[in-house]
Structure 1
């Protein structure tokens, strides 16, 4: 009888441990930064991971754990969890958007902002790229991403800086991934 009572008491704790994690403060996410600029009146700001994996696996994912907190007029802090993408090399950005239709999905016509920081995921360290736009796309044949050396996992590439020993760099936690309109 005693073991049955203990099991009955532990069951709700076991279920709670299996559930989704609660919303965290922005700094506790794998990627965090600020959002700024004029987003209009009462925007529904969300974040999405967009990009492309190899071989051609387009990503537009807003169903990633995130939190956007207003900190003043036209200023927000946010946190975003980077998903685990085993076995798929790719180039991504986290973009902010006004989810005008409130469907939690980045859609055509919604206001979007991004920065010059690219997230490069590689299942193994080594040479990555170059990648070019397909010939049948507008601007086809143009270099999208130069050849670079990356580490296994997530790497941060700042397109506004020259490639070098620290660009791109391996990352586990990213702060200051600021986005503004």
Structure 2
């Protein structure tokens, strides 16, 4: 009887380990900010990491741990985990979208919003770019990403600011990554 009791105690722990990740408060994620604007009635807001790696490998991943919480009329707070992608240099953005078909995927035709902040991942310190954005990038911006000096890991590049002197900058936690439509 003892082996059965031990097994029955371990089974819930094993099943819990295989389950979904814990939902955290938005500020407890690696990347956080607000989503604003008119998304229509009862939107199903989600986030996705979109981008391109080198060699070119388009990423559209909305299965990353995240939490979107209403903060009032047309305002939401969110948190999003940045994935560990060792060995793959790339440029990415976190975009907000209305998951109209409720499939937890960013699909063509769903309303999307993004900002001018770019996440550049590099497996080593050095020079990154220049880089042409893929044709299917959400939005209308397809300009060349300029050559820049980056640190190993995640770097934040603000396209609305002058390149250099802390732009891009190495990051481990990002707050204020605000997105609106």
TM-score (ref. length: structure 1): 0.88
Q: 1:49 Cα deviation (Å)?
A: 0.5
* Residue ranges of structure 1 left out of the alignment (5+ in a row): 135-141
Structure-to-structure mapping, 1:34-113, within 5 angstroms: 34-113=34-113
Q: 1:5 Cα deviation (Å)?
A: 5.1
* Residue ranges of structure 2 left out of the alignment (5+ in a row): 135-141
Q: 1:164 Cα deviation (Å)?
A: 1.4
Q: Matches of 1:108 and 1:46 in 2, distance apart?
A: 14
Q: SS where residue 27 of structure 1 aligns?
A: helix
Which range is displaced more, 1-10 or 73-82?
Answer: 1-10
Structure-to-structure mapping, 1:1-181, within 5 angstroms: 8-132=8-132, 143-181=143-181
Q: 1:104 Cα deviation (Å)?
A: 1.1
Q: Alpha carbons of 1:18 and 1:105: their partners in 2 closer, same or farther (altered >3 Å)?
A: closer
Which range is displaced more, 120-129 or 10-19?
Answer: 10-19
Q: SS where residue 43 of structure 1 aligns?
A: coil
Q: Matches of 1:116 and 1:103 in 2, distance apart?
A: 27
TM-score (ref. length: structure 2): 0.88
1:88–1:123 contact (8 Å) kept in structure 2? yes
May I ask how many residue pairs the two structures share in their alignment? Answer: 175
2:52–2:133 contact (8 Å) kept in structure 1? no
Q: Matches of 2:95 and 2:85 in 1, distance apart?
A: 18
How large is the RMSD of aligned CA atoms in angstroms? 2.0
- Counterpart residue number, 2:138: none
